[in-house]
Structure formats: structure tokens, C-alpha cells
Structure 1
Amino acid sequence: MTDLDATTLRAAYDTQLRPDLPDPVPAGVTVEQDGPLYRVLGLDHRGFLTYRDLRGLTGVALDELIARQVELFRRRGEQVEWKLFGHDEPADLADRLRAAGFVPEEQESVVIGPVAPLAAALPVLPEGVRLREVTARADLDRIVAMEEAVWQADRSHLGAALERELTTDPQSITVVVAEAGETVVSAGWVRYPSNTGFASLWGGSTLPQWRRRGIYRALVVHRARLAAQRDRTLLQVDASDDSRPILERLGLVVVTTTTPYVYTP
């Protein structure tokens, strides 16, 4: 697919990537279905609620679906995320989630673009920085340390989550670090959802002193090359306001927004 029309790309995203379930499902994780909604339990961070669409649910029926999730996670004493997209229906879904106790976190843009132009480029890095693909837990812990330095928050769940994915199916994800000597200055990973034309990019956090030096862009290009090796034609990213302009300059297109709505018992 080379058509960069946002509507066409969004339709491909909805058809191929949603409902965004773990694939394969790691050990200890379970997926349950409640009507059009899927519940993912056993993740390291918090529960996850996802769907392709809500099959026309509105009003009382939709409120009841939401209430069932609140009650289940209240009993579990566990946070849960409802991943809401800007084009989801009904239009008042966000209001209904807030009324049920869900709180919105930072909105991101879903951007999509072709793999081929990026895969044809070469990653350009500052002197002294290299990219390396990693699988060892020690390297994953170094990524966690970098993430915690960037965000000033506990990110310990990330190391365990990445390790579990790599153990479950090492062909489904590639983790890449940008290193200056022994220091991880940035990191990102690419997932290859099965039976799709997509690769999805995640991570990308960079230590403040190493920003605006082309490292994030180089990580994107490197992962695009990995995607091309697996015959993927489209890249997808949930992009922050910082990374979205970089990705747009690289040829990706905003197709919708996504906002985590989080319920905390």
C-alpha cells in the first residue's frame, strides 16, 4: 500500500491492528471477551481494555459494559487502561468513561507511513553512538534506568514486560539501544504483528543531553529496515507531541488520536 490518504490508512489500521491484543499471548497473561470488548489480564503494569469497535453499543448498554469492567478491576484492586481512539463511536464515549471514574492520560497521535522510503535510508548517528539489538535482561534493565532518568518515574515493569515478549516469541519483537560507551542514551523496539502488513514502533525516549542530535530518527530508520526485512509495508507509531513532527517529516501521516483512560480502584 502506498496510498497516504489518512482515511485509507486509518481503515487499514482498524482492520489489521485492532483490537491490539498480545500476539502471541505471553505466559501468565489471559484474554477475556465481554461482548465487543477484550480484557487483557496478567500484564506487568495494569489491565488493558481494547476492541475493534463497540458494535453500535450506546446509552444504558454501553454504561453497563463500562460498569462491568470497573467492578471487575475494583475487585482485583488493579488499575486498568481503556484505550480510546479519536474516531471511536459513540461520540460521547469519553464522557461516559469519565462518569464511570476513568481519568484521561496524555493524548498521542497515531501516525502511519510507508516502510520503503525509510528502509532505503541509512541511520546517521552522532560520533561515538552506536545502535545495538539486545535481548539480555541486563540490557533491558539499562533501558529501564534510562527511561526512569527521562521520566523521573518508576518504569520497572518495562524490563519484565520486554523480557516476557522476547521469551515468548523472539521473532515478534526487536529491541534496539543507542549507546554512547556504556551508557544507553535512547532505546526503541519494533513489533511485527502477525498476519498484517504493519510493523509498530515503540519506545524512543532519549536522555535530554542527547536530544536533537538525530538519534531518534536513526532509531526509526534502523527499525524500518528491520520491518522491510520481514516484508512489512507500513509503519505505525503512537506518537507524542515531541516525536510526531519528526515522524511527519519522515513521511508518516496522522490518522487519529489515542488517549489512555485509566481507572484506579
Structure 2
Amino acid sequence: MIANCPPEEIDGLICRERDSAAAGGYTLEWKHYGHDAPEDLPERLVAAGFVPADEEEVLVLALDEASLAAFDDAGRHEIKIVRDEGSLADYAEISREIGRRNAEEERLALALQVQAGTDEMSIHIAYADGEPVACGRVYFRDGGTYAELSGGRTKTAHRRQGHFTSLVASRLRESRDRGRTHAFVDALPTSAPILRKLGFQFVTRTRPFVFVSDSHGIDG
């Protein structure tokens, strides 16, 4: 995270981060928030070769009994928390089905975290008749009271069946059980209305800008 970078230094910073990604062969995402300066930062990122993705809404929810009750699905869907590296194949299967081109790169990165035994991330997967159909992650940063929901996705044929909401509920319950007081998420236009209806509050807007090195295709 970078804060208070002087405007005259921002172009150099963008180029250094881009060049590091190109040299390392990895995909780099720069998150631009509505309050970020300078005002023309999005244009500078595009000029440096970053590709803008869909705008998202930053939403937050207080983790009290009333808010969690809105997500109660009475155990209608089967949700499993990933405990071993092998289960990440199910996560990658969902990602590939919806067209994410970096599914294998993402699986390998997540596998490293699972191998490390870190408790800063948890991965939840929803199943229907034994088939992995939806998934999502939740992050627990050290020293904070917030949980961050991320990576929510559902196979096309299984949308509008409640899997998305059940996965949110599962991650919210874990967050509360681990002592977090709030959860936030960067929500796409497809999910933001659902989350707001269930109690999440709007904070600001954000847009990812993605730089892909020559060795990777752009993530869909």
C-alpha cells in the first residue's frame, strides 16, 4: 500500500512497479480508490500500460447478530473450508469455468499460503451434488478488527441459486468467530446490489488497473 506519494513522483513509481512485474513475470493489480490523488491517476496508469477493470463498490458490514441473521441460509448449501492444497483444484475449476485466464497462477499462489499454514486467509467452497460450484476467500490482517471478503465467484450454470449468499454467510460467521467486528468487500456491479440489500453499507468506489507481463494473458 502506498500513501502520500508526491504527484511529481507518481509516474516514476508506476513505472518501477510495472517494470518489476514485467521482470518477475507476474500480474500486477493497482487498486485506485475514489479519494486517491492525483485526480488523473487512472489516466497515468493507462498510459503506463495498465488495463482498467470494472469499477467496484467498497462496502462494509458490522458483524453483529442482526446483520448476520440477514444472511442465514439454514445450512441449505454445502460449504467446505479448504484445509489442504489438493482442494484448491476445485477452486481453480470454478475459476476456469467462468473464464479467468490466470486460474493456475492463482492456484499456485494460494497453495503457497496453504502450505505455509497461515491463518491470515481462509478459502470457502460451495458444492452441489459433489460438484464445486462457487468459492470465495476471506482475509484476516494482523492487528486489525476487520475481515476482507475477496475472490467470490460462481459457475455460470449455478448462479441465482443462493450459493453466493451462502458463501458470504459462511465467511461472515468465521470472521465473527475469530473476533472481527466488521467485514468489507470490493463488490462488482453484479454483487453490490445483493450485498447492499442484505445490510452492507457503501463507503467509496474503487477500480482495479491490471498490468500483465508478456508471459500471461489478461485475467477476465
Q: TM-score scaled to structure 1, two decimals? A: 0.72
Give distance in 2, aligned partners of 1:240 and 1:89: 22
SS at match of 1:67: helix
Alignment partner of 1:177 is 2:125: yes
Match of 2:81 among 119, 122, 133: 133
Q: How does 1:1-265 map to 2 (within 5 A)?
A: 19=1, 51=2, 53-55=3-5, 57-58=6-7, 60-76=8-24, 78-116=26-64, 117-120=66-69, 122-124=72-74, 126=76, 129-151=77-99, 153-264=101-212
Give distance in 1, aligned partners of 2:18 and 2:100: 29
SS at match of 1:101: coil
Identity %: 30
Between 1 and 2, higher relative CO (CA 8 Å, sep ≥ 6) is seen in 2
Give distance in 2, aligned partners of 1:259 and 1:190: 20
Give distance in 1, aligned partners of 2:113 and 2:61: 25
* Counterpart residue type for residue 119 of structure 1: L
Give distance in 2, aligned partners of 1:256 and 1:262: 20
Give distance in 1, aligned partners of 2:121 and 2:153: 17
Give distance in 2, aligned partners of 1:145 and 1:79: 20
2:138–2:147 CA contact under 8 A, matched in 1: yes
Identify the residue that residue 36 of structure 1 maps to in structure 2.
Answer: none
Alignment CA distance shift 1:124-1:211 (3 Å): farther
The one-character-per-residue Cα deviations of 1:181-234 (angstroms, maximum 9, x if unpaired) are 220111112111111110111222112222112221111111111111111111
SS at match of 1:153: coil
* Counterpart residue type for residue 190 of structure 1: V
- Uncovered stretches (5+) of structure 1, i.e. residues with no partner: 1-18, 20-50
Alignment CA distance shift 1:170-1:202 (3 Å): same
Aligned-residue offset at 1:255: 1.3
Give distance in 1, aligned partners of 2:84 and 2:117: 14
SS at match of 2:98: helix
* Counterpart residue type for residue 79 of structure 2: L
2:85–2:114 CA contact under 8 A, matched in 1: no
* Counterpart residue type for residue 54 of structure 1: N
The one-character-per-residue Cα deviations of 1:75-94 (angstroms, maximum 9, x if unpaired) are 44554322211210111111
Q: TM-score scaled to structure 2, two decimals? A: 0.85
Alignment CA distance shift 1:115-1:168 (3 Å): same
The one-character-per-residue Cα deviations of 1:83-122 (angstroms, maximum 9, x if unpaired) are 2112101111112222222221222221111111343453
Once superposed, what is the RMSD of the aligned Cα atoms?
2.1
Give distance in 2, aligned partners of 1:184 and 1:254: 31
2:127–2:133 CA contact under 8 A, matched in 1: yes
* Counterpart residue type for residue 159 of structure 1: R
For this pair of structures, how many residues does the alignment match?
A: 211
Alignment CA distance shift 1:258-1:131 (3 Å): same
